[in-house]
Chain A
Amino acid sequence: MKPASATVAKHDGGGEDEKFAVGNIYAVKLITGDEFNGIVLAYDSGPNFAIFEEGTKPKPLDSKTLRMVNAKYITEMKNLGNVKDPLAKKTLVNLDGLIDKENQAIRNVEKIGFGVTAEAQRIFDAISKTLPIRWDNKNMLVMGEVIVRSPYHSDCVFGGTRAVNDRVKTVLEQVRKKLQLSDT
């Protein structure tokens, strides 16, 4: 793929394009004070954003650290050399896979309680192996019906039908025992 600089014709900031030719290695400084070395992987003057691969040597395709940088806020760029375009090999984007990945990540984040103790989080994780459970502020909501309040002992289980409630209580006790947490 031709370096962007070769097709300068229509853009403003053609000079920028040259600067951000793919494969150039720079030591970059930002207005936030952050500094890094990176290889230019992409740049377009329209949005004026560049994507760098961190480091001075290209890493394997499945494990790069990328930085999407607003060129406006680059204070300094020092040229460190050149490499061949690391993305020369054409690859595909699996959008569906990415969407799945995103959903998965979101689900994982949701599993983390906010403002709860580590112990509570461990209890939550253990229960989530067998029962559907989610956080509701600082309470655990199990099977959509049963609420386990802080401090998450068996006597803090409320709601749901008798059977479900008992079940959650039992599971909670088991979990506590297994985690060797103090019991009520």
Chain B
Amino acid sequence: MSMQPIPQSKSSSNGFPLKRGEREEVLNKANTSNTAFNGEAGSLERPSLDRLVYLSTCYIGHHVEVHLRNGSVYTGIFHAADVEKNFGIILKMACLIKDGTLRGHKSRSEFVRKPPSKTFIVPADELVQVIAKDLSVSSTNMSNAVQGEKPAELLTDSSISQSYHVDRERQLQPWVPDETIPQGADLENVFDNPWNRKWNQFEVNESLFGVKSTFDEEIYTTRLERGPQTKQLEEQARKIAREIEAETTRDLHVAEERGLQLNENFDFDEEARYSSVRPVTGFGDSGFDEEDNALLDTCNDLTFGGSSTSDGQKPASSGKGCEELRGDSQSSRNNTNVDQSCSTSKQQSKDFPAAGSNISESQLDERRRNNNQESHNNRSAEESTSGHGDIKEGAKFGGGATSVSKAVTEREREASQISSKTKSESSFGQSASRSSESRPGPSTSTRPGLSPSSSIGSMTSSEKSTLNPNAKEFKLNPNAKSFKPLQPAVVRPQSPVSDASFYYPGPSHVPPVQQMPGMLPVNYGVPPYPGNQPPMMYHPQAYYHPNGQPQYPQQQMMPGQQQQMIPGQQQPRPVYYMQHPPPYQQDMPYHNKGRE
């Protein structure tokens, strides 16, 4: 009849019943989990007992207080009760909190004399009452109570790392817009066409700060000459644009831009969709596959006047920063042609050479034809569309030309998608387009078309050319403002180049380029350049080394012009043309740091 704490008779931490019999009795009575309260037929005769059993079962796991006959009070975790017979109970981790045998009372907190008994049995005779506070007797709530423990265990970092007395949560207040700030959301129409926008920053600046603006849009853009052919050219552009827009795409990013929902969308997590990190598909030189090689070749050709191997011609008008992506070298020929057409337009300057229109047709055909091929599809398409690579605004899809340019960039994306590229390229293309737009006007037909953006061959082996199809043909404008190249997206983040390594405008300045490895040579149109090996690699991390001086077709460059010409590279290597921002920063309205 004594209370018998039975220490360590069984490891109770896993909850196995000490006395199987006892637990099983309870189990039997409870008729296993999820037993209806009124039990099975067999025990209908004793519904009262069933209730008792039911309620006793609810006690399991709960912290209870047990009063004994001698006045002692124990606290512990209720484990089992022999309901049917004599109602002895078992507690786990029981602590004596009040000893009935002692005279006087001790407060609970002082009293813990012995460590808790792992298992504690109380025969019915000793038991006066068992108190369970705040007990749940409904099953849903019961499981919730257990669940309720779990969230408490999922501590947040902040709650873990903070010390004890810090408040976990703040009272959140809903944000109320500041009344003094004018509403009207000029942000919303920021992408409107300029004539739609209600906001004129220049005016504002003038009124606020008294600054007189000398901004002339034409310095940065080519004036669109609307001649007799305008209508026809616009027609063509629109037609092509429609075709492009109507196309479906498999590229995830392109689809997103267009608002299409690719079926497999849901498999892509955020990272695949939006990350600028390229998936690892062979960055290194060795990672090239043929088409990339050819692609880069042709890209380079375009950009830099194909002294490239693929095609012996001087790119007459190559690379007005037209970005072409192609898979096969044969298209490169088309590309150079395309270049010509490409070179003409910028901002809807539809002053194609007559040939241009023909070429565009052929391009279209080619494009369609190529559409039936596999991966080269998109690239070829690009070339055709790149002819119209006007980029009004890379981001926007309005109007024929714009859409074309957009399409081009999208094509690039598609192409890149094929080699499982990421979005970096596309936005890259876009930024390229933007940058080309902002470039100073002139372009020469013979230019190797090094718009900085076009040079964005930030091509890795697995990338397609990211020449900017929308870059305008470079026509030298001696009066142009200093040009600030945009930084194209690059595969890796670059370290900024110090100013010291920069060129100053000056006449016939060749040499400095050489000794600055990693410098972007700013070329002042120095003819006798060929022998130099200017370090193209601006970027220390770039993984290729300039070798083989490309014909430096920058003969036409006039001094006094701060243009950054990047010598073309033939090698099918990832080409990094870091646009160098710092000195020119202020001039660039569209300065785009590229994507980091």
Least CB distance, A20 to chain B, in whole angstroms: 8
Classify chain B's interface size. 35 or more
Least CB distance, A38 to chain B, in whole angstroms: 10
Is A61 engaged at the interface, CB distance under 8 Å to the other chain? yes
Chain A residues near B (Cβ < 8 Å): 1-2, 4, 7, 10, 17, 22, 30-32, 34, 41-49, 51, 54, 61-70, 72-73, 87, 90-107, 109-110, 114-115, 122, 129, 178-180
A44 touches B71 (CB 8 A): no
How far, in whole Å, are A98 and B51 apart by their CA atoms in the complex?
17
The 3 closest A-B pairs by CB, nearest first: A101-B61, A102-B61, A62-B141
B52 touches A114 (CB 8 A): no
A98 touches B60 (CB 8 A): yes
How far, in whole Å, are A132 and B183 apart by their CA atoms in the complex?
56
B135 touches A63 (CB 8 A): yes
How far, in whole Å, are A51 and B55 apart by their CA atoms in the complex?
8
| Interfacial chain A residues near B15, Cβ < 8 Å | 99, 102-103, 106
Per-residue interface assignment for chain B, residues 155 to 179, with 1 indicating a CB less than 8 Å from any chain A CB and 0 otherwise: 1000011011000000000000000
B124-132, B235-243, B300-308, B515-523: which one contacts chain A? B124-132
A31, A49, A94, A105: which contacts B52 (Cβ < 8 A)?
A49
A103 touches B48 (CB 8 A): no
| Interfacial chain B residues near A72, Cβ < 8 Å | 125
| Interfacial chain B residues near A7, Cβ < 8 Å | 45, 47-48
Is B269 engaged at the interface, CB distance under 8 Å to the other chain? no
Main secondary structure of the interface of A (DSSP, over half): mixed
A102 touches B54 (CB 8 A): no
Is B86 engaged at the interface, CB distance under 8 Å to the other chain? yes
Is B149 engaged at the interface, CB distance under 8 Å to the other chain? yes
B37 touches A90 (CB 8 A): yes
Residue among A46, A64, A101 with most chain B CB within 10 A:
A101
How far, in whole Å, are A96 and B93 apart by their CA atoms in the complex?
20
Main secondary structure of the interface of B (DSSP, over half): mixed
How far, in whole Å, are A80 and B30 apart by their CA atoms in the complex?
31
Least CB distance, B15 to chain A, in whole angstroms: 4
Is B4 engaged at the interface, CB distance under 8 Å to the other chain? no
A93 touches B52 (CB 8 A): no
Per-residue interface assignment for chain B, residues 106 to 117, with 1 indicating a CB less than 8 Å from any chain A CB and 0 otherwise: 000000101110
B62-70, B348-356, B487-495, B528-536: which one contacts chain A? B62-70
A102 touches B55 (CB 8 A): no
How far, in whole Å, are A92 and B37 apart by their CA atoms in the complex?
6
A97 touches B93 (CB 8 A): no
Residue among B32, B52, B133, B144 with most chain A CB within 10 A:
B52
A44-B163 contact given A61-B138, A94-B34, CB 8 Å threshold: no
Is B455 engaged at the interface, CB distance under 8 Å to the other chain? no
A-B CB contact pairs (8 Å), 8 listed? A31-B128, A43-B52, A66-B58, A72-B125, A99-B60, A103-B61, A110-B13, A129-B160
How far, in whole Å, are A126 and B155 apart by their CA atoms in the complex?
13
Per-residue interface assignment for chain B, residues 74 to 96, with 1 indicating a CB less than 8 Å from any chain A CB and 0 otherwise: 00011101111111010011000
B77 touches A102 (CB 8 A): yes
| Interfacial chain A residues near B161, Cβ < 8 Å | 178
A105-B63 contact given A70-B128, A90-B36, A95-B32, CB 8 Å threshold: yes
How far, in whole Å, are A23 and B87 apart by their CA atoms in the complex?
22
| Interfacial chain B residues near A54, Cβ < 8 Å | 131
| Interfacial chain A residues near B275, Cβ < 8 Å | none
A90, A104, A179: which contacts B163 (Cβ < 8 A)?
A179
A93-B135 contact given A68-B129, A180-B163, CB 8 Å threshold: no
Q: A94-B34, A114-B112 are in contact. List 14 more A-B contacts (CB 8 A).
A: A7-B47, A22-B51, A30-B129, A32-B129, A34-B129, A42-B54, A46-B85, A62-B141, A69-B129, A70-B87, A95-B34, A103-B14, A109-B77, A110-B93
A64-B135 contact given A95-B32, A110-B13, CB 8 Å threshold: yes
Least CB distance, B158 to chain A, in whole angstroms: 13
B49 touches A97 (CB 8 A): no
Residue among B48, B77, B114 with most chain A CB within 10 A:
B48
B27 touches A1 (CB 8 A): no
